[in-house]
């Protein structure tokens, strides 16, 4: 039944997470969206409701990405190193474990993890962030191997490039205005998440990358 | 215009290649399908025509996969090593170069390469096949970097598992009958190729894997 | 001067760590060896002293590998997930940071991280251990990029196979007795660590793997 | 017996190959060195003889690296694509197969393949060279898996950076003079090859990278 169809987005910000929630909502899914500050979800909730979708906002202690972005550039203290791990790997672990508890008895479900370039590469000054993202990827890989035979699809999407957000617009104007489609459009990412969710189990993807056409890699 | 929409499938056998041609054909694309022996394309051509699609069959010297499959298991002589490379990397190079010649002046196009587990791993007894497949992946990666800024999307799909074909049915019956969706369904693969082709250029995938839910990896 | 030559081994157990300390000690280095329980270092200290080497034992809260080994196989609770991360990534981070504080002002030094198969692969049931090991590898990679231009060599050794220890002997007798050199000899590993330390900076290794000749991979 | 100890270097140019031959020769090995033009081996032969070593020069059709370097930068025609593959993968295959024929009956031996950044990455304009190098790596990996249990050690060294040669000196003077040890010293590479050859079989390396301390990666 339709009420069984729920899409939970941890960290449903103004960009990727929000777009994913809207995309699934348009297909009849109830969107459960979380953000540290529930007030910041108002706009998204209104948008989904206006399109006729069902949405339930929750405040949760998963911290938003901007904070992480600020943190991992700083000279890394042990407090920061731990905090970044908690925001990335530990938050991912807790969420995934709870999701698995619901999905395994049902014998179905999809879990999609969002990775970054740092999931695969430990760059200069990125030891904390890359450590957390590497750990998330290991978690996703372990869970994919454990849960696939139970009909639960776990995938990891490596997003390699800047995403179209207010923050990028404000802080990297030259990049933001580098030409058409030069940065990742959240709706285009959301479409890929939707397709992953719809993949038939004879042919499931564990990992794929996404980057803008003009991105150098 | 519609007549511009052409999908060329090199090696359109009874499984993946044929399914991809049918999938694109159903979206209004004219399917150009090649196989070493043009006679073997009769069935596919009839199927597409019956569904109302347009299709043009060609005989070409790209050899079929079964031959490769037979070859790479044998004690590898230098003749075989060269032949496997010609069937995989060199055939891929020639095709991709010709495709690029058409796509670059048009300023658009999609090239999808089909990889295998051997694209990433040189297993025992697989030096020739893995060498060819590694080279194809290098080619795809180089071309993706060269052509993406010219609006041409190049991607590489790593197919990790047995595909539902007559050959698998006949030779690996226990695997073929291992339960629902235990081997890759060509139509499910074709759907993914279609989605890759439709990706928006703000978020292009270079590489993704596909395997059945019960596959061990 | 000779008294500047110090080799610090975090987790100097009876196998690899101990062998590394002995190897460096034979070249005139003072071995500083740590283990959670200082008493367990008695044997190693006596051995090095007997060979005429200098050694300083310390108790430290880096937990021994056996504990980790036991933990990561269990159904992973959040407490265990966190603990495994602390024993692997966080302990590695703290140690490396302190080492960097000493090495950077001196303008020289070598840091060698010991990885495992789980550094590169998230296997079934290994989400916690693989997460920690992936994070250590990201840390090592970031630090290698940061510190190499300051004349500090950071490397990561992926050990793929069972190491010759009492624990393997007791718990995996068939593996232990699988024939000559079928499991990793700590002295042979130690030799490689010594060679890494002696590499000339025109040709530094970041990563290398080690496995027994009969190991399947 | 000493006369059994032979080190064959395919492509013993003035830099890495020559240094490897000298290094093994100093340990009592007879150096068998090949180059397309036997005359160009004169200097190396004299050097080894002067140090009291035994050396046998041979002309062979393995083309020198400079030619490859020139080729892979050009607009790649099918003739060039094939030629680069012949110089890299096919030459590697033929040599390795012949070496295996000698080593397998003896039950011992070491084969060391020299890789490059292009072994792991298909960069822009490098489709031919990266294809060949990827194929060599696949070959080395397959052979390592096949031959290790027969006591033959196969390894692959990824050299990431410019090597100290006359050609680099003449064509990239700013890089050549970038400071002490900023480019790879052939003798330092040779030492690593010697160490790989001497590794005990309880702990064999398949792959390792080498780059100068100031190299960006």
pLDDT score at B63: 46
Residue of D61, D91, D131, D143 to mutate when probing chain B, most B C-beta within 10 A: D131
Average pLDDT rounded to a whole number, residues D63-84:
66
User: How high is the mean pLDDT in each 10-residue block of chain B (217 residues)?
Assistant: 71 85 91 88 94 90 51 67 93 89 92 95 95 98 97 96 88 89 93 94 97 95
Mean pLDDT of chain C: 88
Q: Strand pairing partners for B134?
A: none
* Whether pLDDT at D61 is above 70: no
Q: How far A156 CA sits from the closest chain C CA (Å)?
A: 13
* Whether pLDDT at A62 is above 80: no
Instruction: Give the nearest chain D residue to C217 (CA atoms).
Output: D145
Among A124, A134, A138, the residue with its CB nearest the CB of C127 is: A138
Task: Residue D127: list chain B partners with CB under 8 A.
Answer: 93, 138-139, 142-143
Query: Which residues in C have their CB inside 8 Å of a CB on D?
Result: 145, 148-149, 151, 153, 164, 181-185, 188-189, 191-192, 195, 199-217
Is the Cβ pair D89, B85 closer than 8 Å? yes
* Whether pLDDT at D20 is above 70: yes
Determine contact, residues D145/D156, Cβ cutoff 8 Å: no
- DSSP secondary structure string for all residues of A81-126: HHHHHIIIIIHHHHHHHHHHHHHHHHT-EEEEEEEEGGGT---TT-
Kindly state the percentage of chain D with pLDDT values over 70.
91
Give CA–CA dist D195/B136, Å, rounded: 33
Is the Cβ pair C149, D210 closer than 8 Å? no
Q: For D145-165, how does the pLDDT look when each residue is reduced to its tens digit (9 = 90+)? A: 999 999 999 999 999 999 998
Give CA–CA dist C112/C99, Å, rounded: 11
Would you say the ipTM is above 0.90?
no
Average pLDDT rounded to a whole number, residues C143-160:
97
Is the Cβ pair B181, A189 closer than 8 Å? no
pLDDT score at B40: 92
Task: Residue D89: list chain B partners with CB under 8 A.
Answer: 85, 131, 135
Cα-based distances in Å from B35 to B111, C37, C181: 18, 69, 51
Cα-based distances in Å from B198 to A68, A135, A159: 33, 32, 18
Lowest-pLDDT range, A177-186, C61-70, D79-88, D119-128? C61-70
Is the Cβ pair B145, A195 closer than 8 Å? no
Q: What is the DSSP letter of A206?
A: S
Is the Cβ pair B124, D139 closer than 8 Å? no
pLDDT score at B35: 87
pLDDT score at D5: 86
User: If we measure between CA atoms, which residue out of C103, C193, C196 comes closest to residue C143?
Assistant: C103
CB contact set of A128 (below 8 Å; sequence gap of 6+): A71, A72, A76, A80, A81, A84, A85
Instruction: Determine the 3-state secondary structure of C169 from DSSP.
Output: helix
C-alpha count within 13 angstroms, C-beta hemisphere, residue A205: 31
Cα-based distances in Å from D60 to A8, B120, D70: 64, 32, 20
Q: For C152-178, how does the pLDDT look when each residue is reduced to its tens digit (9 = 90+)? A: 999 999 999 999 988 888 888 988 888
pLDDT score at D72: 47
Is the Cβ pair D209, C206 closer than 8 Å? yes
Lowest-pLDDT range, A207-211, B124-128, D69-73? D69-73
Mean pLDDT of chain D: 88
Is the Cβ pair C89, A140 closer than 8 Å? no
Kindly state the percentage of chain A with pLDDT values over 70.
91
* Whether pLDDT at C3 is above 60: no
Among C185, C204, C211, the residue with its CB nearest the CB of D211 is: C204
pLDDT score at C61: 59
Determine contact, residues D133/D119, Cβ cutoff 8 Å: yes
* Whether pLDDT at A4 is above 90: no
Residue of A162, A192, A203 to mutate when probing chain B, most B C-beta within 10 A: A203
Is the Cβ pair A214, B153 closer than 8 Å? no
Residue of B81, B92, B122 to mutate when probing chain D, most D C-beta within 10 A: B122
pTM: 0.88
């Amino acid at each position: 039944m339709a009420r069984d169809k729920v899409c939970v987005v941890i960290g449903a910000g103004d960009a990727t997470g929000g777009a994913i929630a809207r995309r699934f909502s348009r297909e009849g899914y109830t969107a459960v969206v979380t953000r540290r500050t529930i007030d910041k979800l108002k706009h998204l909730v209104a948008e989904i409701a206006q399109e006729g979708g069902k949405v339930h906002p929750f405040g949760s202690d998963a911290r938003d990405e901007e904070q992480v972005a600020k943190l991992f550039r700083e000279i890394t203290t042990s407090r920061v190193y731990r905090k970044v791990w908690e925001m990335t790997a530990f938050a991912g672990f807790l969420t995934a474990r709870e999701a698995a508890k619901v999905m395994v008895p049902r014998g179905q479900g999809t879990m999609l993890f969002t990775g970054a370039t740092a999931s695969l590469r430990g760059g200069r000054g990125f030891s904390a962030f890359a450590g957390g993202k590497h750990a998330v990827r290991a978690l996703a890989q372990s869970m994919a191997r454990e849960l696939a035979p139970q009909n639960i699809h776990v995938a990891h999407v490596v997003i390699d490039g800047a995403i179209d957000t207010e923050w990028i617009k404000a802080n990297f104007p030259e990049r933001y205005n580098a030409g058409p489609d030069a940065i990742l459009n959240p709706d285009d990412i959301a479409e890929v998440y939707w397709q992953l969710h719809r993949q038939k189990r004879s042919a499931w993807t564990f990992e794929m990358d996404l980057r803008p056409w003009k991105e150098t890699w």
